[in-house]
Amino acid sequence: MDTKCVQAGYRPGNGEPRQIPIIQSTTFKYATSEDMGKLFDLEASGYFYSRLQNPTNDYVAAKIAELEGGTAAMLTSSGQAANFFALFNICECGSHIVSSSSIYGGTFNLISVTMAKMGIETTFVSPDCTVEELNAAFKENTRAVFGESIANPALTVLDIEKFAKAAHGHGVPLIVDNTFPTPVNCRPIEWGADIVTHSTTKYMDGHGAAVGGAIVDAGKFDWMAHRDKFPGLCEPDESYHGITYAEKFGKEGAFITKCTSQLMRDLGCMQSPQSAYILNLGLESLHVRMPRHVANGQAVAEFLSRHPQVSYVNYPGLEEDKYYETAKKYMPNGGCGVVSFELKGGRAAAETFMKHLKLAAIETHVADARTCCLNPATSTHRQMTERQLAAAGVPAGLIRISCGLEDKEDLIADLSNALAAI
Ligand SMILES: *Cc1c(COP(=O)(O)O)cnc(C)c1O
């Protein structure tokens, strides 16, 4: 894993640049129309327009595929685009999704509001549901199951095997958003996930420098065995000269090829090669940074769990956490550096606490080298009443802290000061 973080993906030949070249070009030149025609027919691989594919992006995507243990990958302009593309590649008007209810707010909006307008319906299930409850959520038109390995911001841990088994029992793939633990700490494909998505904006970049996303295909799902469910992959694509992706590119390549040649072509949520280059700089140290994020998260969670001003702490690395055992199974080296906790004293206590932080910056961001903090009740969720906040599981005194790479004693001192001010 460590060597792949540094060296996978781009392998320069003799006399070629050591660092990934930024191919800052919208288009690519060919000698004959026949040469280019082969690319359009997907008879040859190559580049013709950076809205669909760019070599810089592909070097970085290849590294992420190796890290996750997948057969193919692509970059997208954001994590939102990655999750939308992953789902929309196999869903259409009239399809149904089974999703964990404990997911990122942006993804919840995407599937419960925007995709609903496209005629794609979703049933949400608790990540802690029984196998019977999970199986009961499936319908005849279900096309995918979705969940987050560690959910942002609830910090619930997905029982990946349970969700994969249910998905496969119903002939559909499991899509796992693996943004928080990253492949350094969790590899969903090894537990049965078929598609893995990322907001690379978070730990993968890790420096708050570039928004981006990624989709990885495990290359294991047998689309042709369920061809009635996935006509987009298993029937000829008339917009691409009658190509049948699952036949021509097999299990290993069909999903990403269709996603690139259809969705990227038509929707164009492409990551810029500049951003892909920045992302790769982050990936080169991901294996060094993640253990430090985890160590700081663990130290901060332990400190908070003993503090009299704190009513509870959510962190899967704490033995008393509901997800401790699940996390130990799927991410034995720890999950991530994000911790959430509730202050006694509600909104007023939270406001005072936030005001007195010095190191931890107030930001709507996580998974950055610099520690940041958020009180949802007075920021992202400020339109909600006290009662609505409680129902949504974000009480007014809830604080989310994303532990960066600083010295843990400095972080604890900062929190300690702010807690003393309440
Ligand atoms: C941030 C985030 C997203 C959305 O990613 P963007 O890059 O902000 O579009 C999706 N899933 C998870 C788990 C996230 O944390």
pLDDT at 388: 79
Q: How many angstroms separate the CA atoms of 90 and 98, rounded?
A: 13
Domains of the chain as residue ranges with CATH: 2-280 (3.40.640.10), 286-420 (3.90.1150.10)
Report if pTM > 0.85.
Answer: yes
Mutation test residue for ligand 1: of 202, 364, 402, the one with most atoms within 8 Å of CB: 202
* pLDDT tens per residue, range 31-72: 999 988 888 888 888 899 999 999 999 999 999 999 999 999
Q: Residue 219: CB partners within 8 Å, gap ≥ 6?
A: 70, 71, 72, 251, 252, 253
* pLDDT tens per residue, range 251-310: 999 999 999 999 999 999 999 999 999 999 999 999 999 999 999 999 999 999 999 999
Q: What residue's CA is closest to ligand 1, atom 5?
A: 79
Q: How many angstroms separate the CA atoms of 168 and 238, rounded?
A: 29
The closest alpha carbon to 181, from 305, 317, 35, 281, belongs to: 317
Q: How many angstroms separate the CA atoms of 313 and 311, rounded?
A: 7
pLDDT at 387: 81
pLDDT at 45: 86
CA of 320 to the centre of ligand 1 (A): 28
Do 386 and 396 contact (CB within 8 A), yes or no?
Answer: yes
Pocket of ligand 1 (CB under 6 A): 78-80, 104, 106-107, 148, 152, 177, 179, 199, 201-202, 211, 213
Q: What is the mean pLDDT of the segment spanning 230-243?
A: 92
Q: What residue's CA is closest to ligand 1, atom 7?
A: 79
The closest alpha carbon to 275, from 77, 19, 63, belongs to: 77
pLDDT at 109: 92
* pLDDT tens per residue, range 142-179: 999 999 999 998 899 999 999 999 999 999 999 999 99
| Strands 72-76, 398-402: pairing kind | unpaired
- Nearest atom within ligand 1 for CA of residue 211: 7
Backbone φ and ψ of 24, nearest 5°: -85, 70
Q: Residue written as tokens 């300690």?
A: 416
407 has a pLDDT exceeding 80: yes
The closest alpha carbon to 203, from 187, 221, 176, 183, belongs to: 183
Which SS3 state, helix, strand or coil, does residue 42 take? coil
Alpha helices in 110-192 (DSSP H): 115-117, 131-136, 160-169, 182-185
Q: How many angstroms separate the CA atoms of 222 and 251, rounded?
A: 6
Tell me the helices (H) and strands (E) count for the chain, helix number first: 19, 12
CA of 48 to the centre of ligand 1 (A): 29
